[in-house]
């Protein structure tokens, strides 16, 4: 009993200390900038810029302006529900904003620590610690990107046994950010919940289609080494084409990008179906937590890789894929996957230099290729996991 209480105390104490240290640092301008710079993170001031973006949008709204169109140089691309949340909690107030940030950081560290304690494999510990001290993790903390909240909600979705509670956390994450819809496979072992939540998600997407379209238009496609996705690849090729006077230009870029999205979707489908077979009937299988974690992490990465451009702090979800893949015996594939993860978690170290130089092109090509390998391996194992839970009867509802 004493050891159990001590363990619970540590799970609270460590996140409490870490979040307190970071919030304290945010009060000291020079210290904040110098510490993050020493970690190779391009620090912003004021601190927590991604979280502050909601306040900037709220300010436009309070002035009677449209936050989605009022600042072309700083486009607002969050669902409008965030404006209501920030307005309800009065997060324009500096003190309340700091408290809100503290709660987010505490929740993030608590979830990470809980996830760490539930996986005692030595290889998992090594890769997990690499992520913790990676530029991807440092960047999401420095910016306080709201992806942190989505990550925590999805983790609670997975570890919770009550399907009603799971559904609430999942739908909350989906409403706050659209891309969690790609993690809907965590409900794959209960087809009634799966199709119910899928239907709710589709209806919500239809209802919010105009706002989603505006957010899509406001989305910045980052042609950077520490970004991933078809949007990043297409935009990088566009910039090189413009610089070298090749065939890509403003008039045909959208068509070119959409063709790449289609090709990526076809490629992903083909890889998934290498191991996926729609059997007549399945032998009863109980889905494990590791499989749910994998379906969540791989689903989000695959979906966002095909449809968008994402800064590498969204690689955060890939730590969900680690516990399950460690159980597979294909050592060459798994070693390749983890090596790619370790390098890509720290892709910000490779950023810098003339974007049109040969050196930058080589660096970017290598890192993008490693992310494509990660994409391919996730598609392959997604087919393996889905094969355990989807048969012909799955669609008879």
In this predicted model, what pLDDT tens digit does every residue of 237-288 receive, in sequence order?
Answer: 999 998 888 888 888 999 999 999 999 999 999 999 998 877 666 655 788 9
Peptide linkage before 46 cis (omega within 30 of 0): yes
How much is the pLDDT for 395?
Answer: 63
pLDDT confidence of 359, banded at 50, 70, 90? Answer: very high
What value does the mean pLDDT take over residues 323-352? 94
Q: Lowest mean pLDDT of 21-25, 130-134, 372-376, 389-393, name the range.
A: 389-393
Comparing 105 with 246, which gets the higher pLDDT?
105
**Alpha carbon distances (Å) from 240 to 228, 250, 311, 353, 357:** 17, 13, 20, 15, 10
**Which tens digit of pLDDT belongs to each residue from 191-245?**
888 899 999 999 999 999 988 888 888 888 888 999 999 999 999 999 999 888 8
Does the pLDDT at position 325 exceed 80? yes
How much is the pLDDT for 6?
Answer: 61
How much is the pLDDT for 7?
Answer: 65
Does the pLDDT at position 2 exceed 50? no
Rounded CA-CA distance 271/213 in Å is 30
Does the pTM surpass 0.95? The reply is: no
Does the pLDDT at position 3 exceed 50? no
How much is the pLDDT for 389?
Answer: 85
Q: Would you state the structure tokens that stand for residue 265, as one six-digit string?
A: 């979707």
Does the pLDDT at position 67 exceed 60? yes
How much is the pLDDT for 397?
Answer: 56
What single string gives the DSSP state of each residue in 147-211? HHHHHHHHHHHHH---HHHHHHHHHHHHHH-SGGGGGGGGGTT-HHHHHHHHHHHHHHHHHTHHH
Does the pLDDT at position 299 exceed 60? yes
Does the pLDDT at position 293 exceed 70? yes
pLDDT confidence of 330, banded at 50, 70, 90? Answer: confident
């Amino acid at each position: 009993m004493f050891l159990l209480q001590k363990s619970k105390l540590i799970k609270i104490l460590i996140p409490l200390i870490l979040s307190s240290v970071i919030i304290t640092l945010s009060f000291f301008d020079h210290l904040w900038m110098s510490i993050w710079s020493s970690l190779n993170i391009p620090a912003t001031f004021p601190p927590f810029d991604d979280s502050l973006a909601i306040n900037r949008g709220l300010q436009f709204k309070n002035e009677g302006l449209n936050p989605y169109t009022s600042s072309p140089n700083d486009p607002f691309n969050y669902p409008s529900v965030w404006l209501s949340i920030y307005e309800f909690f009065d997060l324009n107030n500096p003190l309340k904003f700091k408290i809100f940030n503290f709660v987010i950081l505490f929740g993030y560290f608590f979830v990470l620590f809980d996830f760490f304690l539930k996986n005692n494999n030595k290889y998992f510990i090594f890769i997990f610690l690499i992520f913790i001290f990676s530029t991807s993790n440092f960047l999401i903390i420095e910016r306080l990107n709201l992806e942190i909240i989505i990550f925590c909600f999805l983790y609670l979705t997975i570890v919770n046994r009550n399907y009603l509670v799971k559904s609430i956390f999942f739908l909350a994450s989906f409403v706050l950010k659209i891309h969690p819809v790609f993690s809907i496979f965590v409900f794959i072992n209960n087809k009634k919940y799966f199709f119910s939540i899928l239907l709710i998600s589709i209806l919500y997407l239809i209802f919010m289609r105009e706002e989603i379209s505006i957010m899509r238009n406001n989305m910045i496609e980052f042609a950077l080494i520490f970004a991933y996705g078809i949007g990043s690849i297409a935009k990088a090729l566009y910039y090189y084409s413009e610089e070298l006077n090749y065939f890509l230009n403003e008039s045909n870029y959208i068509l070119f990008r959409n063709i790449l999205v289609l090709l990526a979707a076809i490629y992903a489908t083909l890889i998934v179906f290498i191991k996926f077979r729609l059997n007549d009937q399945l032998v009863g299988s109980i889905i494990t937590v590791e499989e749910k974690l994998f379906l969540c992490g791989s689903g989000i990465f695959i979906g966002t890789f095909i449809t968008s451009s994402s800064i590498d702090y969204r690689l955060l979800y890939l730590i969900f894929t680690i516990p399950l893949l460690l159980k597979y015996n294909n050592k060459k594939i798994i070693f390749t996957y983890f090596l790619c993860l370790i390098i890509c978690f720290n892709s910000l170290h490779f950023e810098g230099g003339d974007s049109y130089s040969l050196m930058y092109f080589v660096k970017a090509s290598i890192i993008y290729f490693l992310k494509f390998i990660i994409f391919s391996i996730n598609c392959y194992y997604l087919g393996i996991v889905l094969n355990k839970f989807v048969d012909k009867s799955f669609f008879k509802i």
